[in-house]
């Protein structure tokens, strides 16, 4: 059941000076539901684990980027930008989200793609991106990708959305999401979580949930299941994202700085689900993908959803968390945009090889 569009997100009610300074474009079908993970209770070893259904955050394309784009797209409009330029891996959910949500909001989208392991999901992503009419540019290696992204961003009227869309403005979406969850807890829809588990890459979501927990006065620990290497995702990098996000919001909202005081929220990084690296399957991902399908009725994928469940199980079965309320924050879109007949023929020539490549999962 769809919620009516929100003219004012909870974060504007909590921090009124932001409302005057930060543009907002409603995109999310929020509040997203909170439910028990009953279907996979045997696998988790407990029947009292909850999930926040941000997989259903939009009927266009849900998941983790919708709440960020409520603030980024509004900023693009406020600056008079007329197109979006983003960057991600060949299987990037961010690129698919930008392609579909961007089109729905009236923006032409260009995306520069870097190499990552080819899975069935990667091939599906290229088709879904193409079906949305996005202009796909093959970057390949990181350097060439960075150069092509910078060049595409220079186009007149282009609004750039960098890797992970992890800027403070975008992260505001997950401070807002935490206020939404606090309202659901206050209404008795679910217990207050002691632990929140989610997959973490650029870590904007994790950092924002920490700040959100501090804002609502919860001592909740946020556990980031690392989906990329420890060189780019670690305590230091997350502390930096969190500090930058805190500074950005505090500069626009004295009530935010006052409410938090020295508190910044608590987090931990779980690295045991990564396997060989970003986008690669591990020995355990097939099993986790089957559980994801049991839980949501949708096929999962290797990069985020399977590894998040492996991290969730590790937490659920850890004696240190016995008796604690655990909540999985779902981040992968439940909606898989339709790929009309003939889409494969419309894939950019420089990316057609992806559709015929051998897959690792
Ligand atoms: C972007 C994304 C994440 C990771 O969010 P970060 O804020 O970059 O850590 C997790 N899951 C999905 C499906 C995503 O699209």
Closest CA to 40 of 261, 273, 294: 294
- 136 CB-near residues (< 8 Å, 6+ apart): 95, 110, 111, 113, 126, 129, 130, 347, 348, 351
Q: What angle do CA 345, 111, 29 make, to 5 degrees?
A: 100
Nearest-atom number in ligand 1 for the CA of 63 is 13
- For ligand 1, whether the C-beta of 225 sits within 6 Å is no
- Does residue 1 have a pLDDT over 80? no
**Pair (201, 311) in one structural domain:** yes
Does the beta carbon of 94 lie inside 6 Å of ligand 1? Answer: yes
To test ligand 1's pocket by mutation, which of 57, 62, 64, 88 has the most ligand atoms within 8 angstroms of CB?
Answer: 64
DSSP run (H or E) holding 349:
none
Pick from 185, 219, 225: which is nearest to 34 by CA? 185
Beta bridge partners of 326: 49, 195
Q: Tens digit of pLDDT for each residue in 298-340?
A: 999 999 999 999 999 999 999 999 999 999 999 999 999 999 9
CATH number, domain containing residue 203: 3.40.50.1100
How many C-beta neighbours within 10 Å does residue 192 have? 15
Q: Give the mean pLDDT of the chain.
A: 97
User: Are 33 and 100 in the same domain?
Assistant: no
Residue 232 predicted with pLDDT over 70: yes
Q: Where in the sequence is the domain holding 289, given as residue range(s)?
A: 16-64+166-329
The answer to the question of residue 1 being in a domain is: no
Q: What confidence category does residue 5 fall into, taking pLDDT thresholds of 50, 70 and 90?
A: confident
Do 301 and 192 lie in a common domain? yes
Residues near 32 by beta carbon (within 8 Å), at least 6 away in sequence? 52, 53, 54, 56, 57, 180
Residues 107 and 240 in one domain: no
CB 203 within 8 A of CB 237: yes
| Model pTM score | 0.98
* 331 touches ligand 1 (CB under 6 Å): yes
| Residue 10 counted as domain residue | no
| 199 Cβ below 6 A of ligand 1 | yes
Q: Which tokens in the block code for residue 191? A: 């217990």
Is 2 domain-assigned?
no
Domains held by the chain: number: 2
Both 75 and 111 in one domain: the answer is yes
Is the CB of residue 202 less than 8 Å from the CB of residue 234?
A: no
State whether 154 and 206 are in the same domain. Answer: no
Distances (CA, A) of 65 to 76, 133, 175, 325, 349: 15, 19, 13, 26, 28
How far, CA to CA in Å, does 114 sit from each of 118, 136, 137, 233, 351? 11, 11, 9, 18, 11
Reduce the DSSP state of residue 114 to 3 states and report it.
strand
Asked whether residue 227 falls in the same domain as residue 323, the answer is: yes
Q: Is residue 270 part of a domain?
A: yes
Indicate whether 175 and 101 sit together in one domain: no
User: 228 with 304, same domain?
Assistant: yes
Assess if residue 6 is contained within a domain.
no
Helical (H) or strand (E) element with 187: none
Question: Can you tell me which atom of ligand 1 is nearest the CA of 164?
Answer: 8
Instruction: Using a pLDDT cut of 90, give the percent of the chain over it.
Output: 98
Residues 197 and 325 in one domain: yes
**Ligand 1 mean position to 102 CA, how many Å?**
18
Q: For residue 303, how far is its CA from the centre of ligand 1 (angstroms)? A: 10
Question: Are residue 174 and residue 305 in the same domain, yes or no?
Answer: yes
Average pLDDT over residues 91-109: 98
Which DSSP symbol is given to 192?
A: P
Q: Which residue has the tokens 């505001």?
A: 172
Residue 3 covered by a domain: no
Alpha carbon 103 to its chain's center: 19
Distance CA 168, CA 171 (A): 5
Structural contact between residues 56 and 29, judged by C-beta atoms closer than 8 angstroms: yes
Q: Is 11 contained in some domain?
A: no
Is 315 found in the same domain as 196? yes
223-257 in b/e burial notation, b at 16+ Cβ within 10 A? bbbbbbeeeebeeebbeebbebbbebbbebbeebe
Query: Is 264 inside a domain boundary?
Result: yes
Q: Which tens digits make up the pLDDT trace of 169-203?
A: 999 999 999 999 999 999 999 999 999 999 999 99
Q: Which pLDDT does position 7 carry in this prediction?
A: 81
DSSP letter (8 states) at residue 34: E
Ligand 1 centroid distance, CA of 164 (Å)? 7
């Amino acid at each position: 059941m769809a919620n009516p569009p929100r003219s004012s997100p909870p974060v504007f009610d909590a921090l009124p000076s932001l409302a005057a300074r930060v543009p907002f474009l409603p995109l999310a079908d929020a509040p997203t539901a909170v439910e028990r993970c009953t279907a996979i209770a045997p696998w988790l070893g407990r029947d009292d684990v909850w999930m926040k259904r941000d997989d259903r955050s939009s009927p266009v394309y849900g998941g983790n980027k919708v709440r960020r784009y409520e603030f980024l797209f509004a900023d693009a409009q406020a600056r008079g930008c007329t197109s979006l330029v983003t960057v991600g891996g060949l299987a990037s959910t961010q690129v698919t989200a930008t392609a579909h949500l961007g089109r729905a909001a009236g923006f032409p989208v260009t995306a520069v793609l870097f190499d990552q392991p080819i899975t069935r999901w990667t091939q599906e992503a290229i088709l879904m991106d193409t079906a949305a009419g996005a202009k796909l540019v093959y970057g390949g290696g990181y350097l060439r990708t960075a150069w092509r992204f910078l060049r595409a961003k220079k186009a007149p009227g282009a609004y750039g959305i960098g890797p992970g869309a992890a800027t403070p403005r975008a992260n505001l979406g997950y401070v807002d999401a935490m206020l939404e969850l606090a309202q659901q807890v206050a209404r008795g829809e679910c217990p207050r979580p002691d632990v929140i588990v989610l997959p973490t890459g650029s870590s904007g979501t994790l950092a924002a949930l920490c700040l959100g927990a501090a804002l609502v006065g919860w001592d909740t620990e946020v556990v980031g299941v690392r989906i990329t290497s420890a060189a780019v995702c670690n305590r230091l990098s997350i502390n930096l994202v969190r500090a930058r996000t805190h500074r950005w919001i505090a500069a626009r909202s004295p009530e935010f700085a006052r409410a938090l005081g020295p508190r910044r929220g608590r987090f931990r990084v779980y690295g045991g689900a990564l396997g060989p690296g970003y986008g690669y399957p591990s020995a355990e991902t097939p099993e986790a993908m089957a559980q994801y399908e049991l839980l949501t009725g949708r096929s999962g994928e290797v990069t985020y959803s399977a590894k998040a469940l492996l991290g969730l199980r590790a937490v659920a079965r850890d004696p240190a968390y016995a008796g604690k309320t655990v909540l999985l924050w779902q981040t992968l879109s439940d909606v898989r945009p339709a790929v009309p007949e003939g889409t494969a023929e419309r894939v950019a020539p420089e990316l057609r090889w992806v559709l015929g490549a051998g897959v690792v999962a």
